[in-house]
Amino acid sequence: MFERLSERLGSVLDRLRGRGVVSASDVSEAMREIRRALLEADVNIRVAREMVDRVAAEAVGERVLKSLTPGQQIVKIVYDELVRTMSHERTEPDTGGRRPVVWLLAGLQGAGKTTTAAKLAVWAAGKRGMRPMLAACDLKRPAAVDQLGMLAGKTGMGFYEDRTSQDPARVAADALAMADREMYDLLIVDSSGRLHVDDDLMAELESIRAAVSPRETLLVLDGMTGQDAVNVALEFDRRIGLTGAVLSKMDGDSRGGAALSTAAVTGRPVLFLGTGEGPGDLEAFDPARMAGRILGMGDVLGLVEKAVEASDRVDAEKLERRLRKGEFTMDDLLAEFGRLRKMGSLADILAMLPAGILPKGLEVDPRELGRKEAIIRSMTPDERRRPERIDGSRRKRIARGSGVAVRDVNRLLDDYRAVKEMMKRLGKSSRLASLLRG
């Protein structure tokens, strides 16, 4: 996510970090490069200019330039401005009031509305304990009705369709009546899209709005389209009135223009990011975490939360108690590998780590995890409990049993020692304890 923008900004700010003394001309040159990087990332011109002007005004102040760490202070200023630019007073969708709550999804064809509808339902069920229903009101594409029905079945959500009707507003109203009768908490309405904004599309959306009075009218934007996405948001907001946006397809190297510009230009919040193809690949938009990722600081808190979500609460609390005693065995490491698989792709997980922790250009081999698991499973129960007893002959036996070379066994034992040391430090962390306990 935002690899190119992150590299460009990281390069500029690293040069400032490395200097003991920073002059006003150094700041001016850095600001020019930052503005160029933002524009190349398809950030709105006005947003880029105003953001850089605010950074420059604060960065050339006497307090910063005469400090002991001017470069670090400028990095903090850039971070704060990124957060400010992406922030909005609303951070979550409206789930209160009389049930069922209605969310209407709008967007251009191909933006990902249908998959986003299912992801929002999974989020609402998992994070808010709601009982969602999906309504198929994209009557222009029969395949969209099929797709939404399949996703509803796969995720266990309620589903409403009417293949005999050509009136999306009528279908939405009937879906709302059914959701009310069957005591659903949330109705998510999937609507038609077009290749571009036109009067027919807007009239259709206006009729659906009139029929179901949605609490949220969310625009699904293709995050790969940058500034074009912001222009689309402005037009939809002008015509039907939006309450927020969801940026889809953010798992690729999105240019970043949409994430950085949408709230600032439209005055509407970005509420969610779609980060993959799966029903659970949706995350709440957090400007502070996003700024950290853009500046190569990573999203360690997000990584820990992913780990907690993948953990069984009882097992997690048992592990915490043992970590506090400094206990961590190969069985624990094997369990952590299992949790790692539940958290998603290894590449996505590593992308949440701060820049510099991993070697540049590192290729992630998903098969490596399987090899490590096979090595541990080839150990005896006693060897798993006390890996320090694994001598040369045992290493050869374990290598034969798992189909790897002895050097792979040695590497795993080195990894184990490093992880055990890290876990020992984590065991003393009160922040870890609070996360593990939810």
307-356 confidence digits (pLDDT tens): 555 555 556 666 666 666 767 889 888 887 777 776 665 555 555 555 54
Higher pLDDT, 7 or 127: 127
Whether residue 277 has pLDDT greater than 80: yes
The more confidently predicted of residues 187 and 367 is 187
Instruction: For domain 301-436, give the CATH number.
Output: 1.10.260.30
**Helices 24-40 and 3-17: crossing angle, nearest 10°?**
180
Average pLDDT over residues 124-144: 94
Average pLDDT over every residue of 207-213: 96
Report residue 72's pLDDT band, with 50, 70 and 90 as the boundaries: confident
Residues 417-426: what's their mean pLDDT? Answer: 71
Residue 205 reports pLDDT greater than 70: yes
Judged against a pLDDT cut of 50, whether residue 418 lies above it is answered with yes
Pull the structure tokens for residue 130. Answer: 């709601």
Q: Which residues of 385-418 are buried (b: 16+ CB within 10 A; e: fewer)?
A: eebeebeeeebebbbeebebeeebbebbbeebee
Tokens of 76: 């903090």
Residues 136-185 pLDDT 10s: 999 988 899 999 999 999 999 999 999 999 999 999 999 999 999 999 99
In the chain, list all ranges with CATH 1.20.120.140.
3-86
Name beta bridge partners: 133.
Answer: 158, 187
Q: What percent of the chain has pLDDT over 90?
A: 45
Q: How confident is the model at residue 431 (pLDDT cuts 50, 70, 90)?
A: very low
Residue 310 is predicted with a pLDDT of 56
Of 42-46, 101-105, 228-232, minimum mean pLDDT range = 228-232
> Is a pLDDT exceeding 70 seen at residue 260?
yes
- Determine whether domain 3-86 maps to CATH 1.20.120.140: yes
Give yes or no for residue 100 having a pLDDT over 70. Answer: yes
pLDDT value at 358 more than 50:
no
**Delimiting residues of CATH 1.10.260.30 domain(s) in the chain:** 301-436
Report the topology of domain 101-290: Rossmann fold (3.40.50)
Q: Does residue 306 or residue 124 have the better pLDDT? A: 124
- The reported pLDDT for the residue numbered 359 is 46
Taking only the tens place, the pLDDT of each residue in 8-31 is: 888 888 888 767 678 888 889 999
pLDDT beyond 70 at 219: yes
pLDDT in the model for residue 404: 94
Least confident window among 3-7, 12-16, 298-302, 382-386: 298-302
- More confident call, 350 vs 437: 350
**pLDDT confidence of residue 135:** 98
pLDDT mean across residues, the chain: 83
Lowest mean pLDDT among 181-190, 253-262, 279-288: 253-262
Give me the pLDDT at residue 367, please.
76
**Pick from 196-210, 231-245, 293-307: least confident:** 293-307
Distance (Å, whole) CA 108 – CA 220: 8
**Which residues belong to CATH 3.40.50.300 in the chain?**
101-290
pLDDT of residue 436: 47
From the list 330, 353, 326, 340, the residue with the least C-alpha distance to 425 is 326
